[in-house]
Amino acid sequence: MPYVITAVCRQCNTCIAGCDSGAVLEGQDRNAIDITICIECGICAAECPFQAIVFEEESNSESPAP
C-alpha cells in the first residue's frame, strides 16, 4: 500500500468523496485506507487539503487508523 493517512488528518472527508474505489473509510481519530480495495490512483492524496495522505515511505512508518 503506497498511501497512508497520517495523524494530520482532520476528517474533513474530502478524500472519501474523491475516492472512486471506495477505499477511504472514516475512522475514529482519522480516516483510513482499505488496502484490499485501494487502486493506488493517488486521488485521495491530491484532494486532501491538509496534505495528510502521503506515500508510505514518506510517512515515517506511521500506520493508518483502523
- Domains and their CATH numbers in the chain: 3-58 (3.30.70.20)
Q: 11 pLDDT exceeds 90?
A: yes
**Does pTM surpass 0.75?**
yes
For residue 60, what pLDDT is reported? 54
For residue 63, what pLDDT is reported? 52
Separation of alpha carbons 20 and 59, rounded Å:
23
For residue 25, what pLDDT is reported? 96
Confidence of residue 56 (pLDDT cuts 50, 70, 90): confident
For residue 15, what pLDDT is reported? 96
Residues of the chain above pLDDT 70, percent: 85
Closest among 61, 31, 34 to 47, alpha carbons compared: 31
Residue pair 44/27 in contact (Cβ under 8 Å)? The answer is no
